[in-house]
Amino acid sequence: MPDDGSARYADRSARDTVFALADDESYPPTVVSLSDVHGYYDSFASALRLPGDHAEFAPLVERDDDGDLHWVGGKNGREYVLVANGDLVDRGGDSERVVETIRRLQREAPAGHVRYHCGNHEQFVLAGGVGSADWYCDRVDDATRRSFFDAVAAGDLAVAYDGYEYTYSHAGAVDGLDPARANDAFRAVVASVADVVGTDADAYRTFERAFDEEWVSRAGRDHPKGPDAGPLWLGWEHLPGDAPKQVVGHTPHERVTRKGNVVCEDVTKKNAGERGGEAVTVETPDAFRALERTADGGARLRDV
Q: What is the pLDDT of residue 12?
A: 66
Is the pLDDT at 137 greater than 90? The verdict is yes
Q: What is the pLDDT of residue 1?
A: 37
Q: What is the pLDDT of residue 87?
A: 97
What is the pLDDT averaged over residues 99-116?
A: 97
Q: Which residues of 43-67 are buried (b: 16+ CB within 10 A; e: fewer)?
A: bbbbbbbbbbbbeebebbbeeeeee
Is the pLDDT at 2 greater than 50? The verdict is no
Q: What is the pLDDT of residue 11?
A: 53
Q: How far is CA 198 from CA 9, 121, 145, 195, 302, in A?
A: 39, 20, 10, 8, 48
For 213-270, what is each residue's pLDDT tens digit? Answer: 999 999 999 999 999 999 999 999 999 999 999 999 999 999 999 999 999 999 998 8
Is the pLDDT at 125 greater than 70? The verdict is yes
Is the pLDDT at 102 greater than 60? The verdict is yes
For 50-86, what is each residue's pLDDT tens digit? Answer: 999 999 999 999 999 999 999 999 988 999 999 999 9
For 25-49, what is each residue's pLDDT tens digit? Answer: 788 999 999 999 999 999 999 999 9
Q: What is the pLDDT of residue 24?
A: 77
List the domains of the chain with CATH numbers. 5-303 (3.60.21.10)
At CB < 8 A and 24+ separation, what contacts does 67-71 make? 68/101, 68/104, 69/45, 69/101, 69/104, 69/105, 70/104, 70/105, 70/108, 71/104, 71/105, 71/108, 71/109, 71/113, 71/114
Instruction: Say how far apart CA 284 and CA 163 lie, in whole Å.
Output: 8
Of all residues in the chain, the percent with pLDDT exceeding 90 is: 88
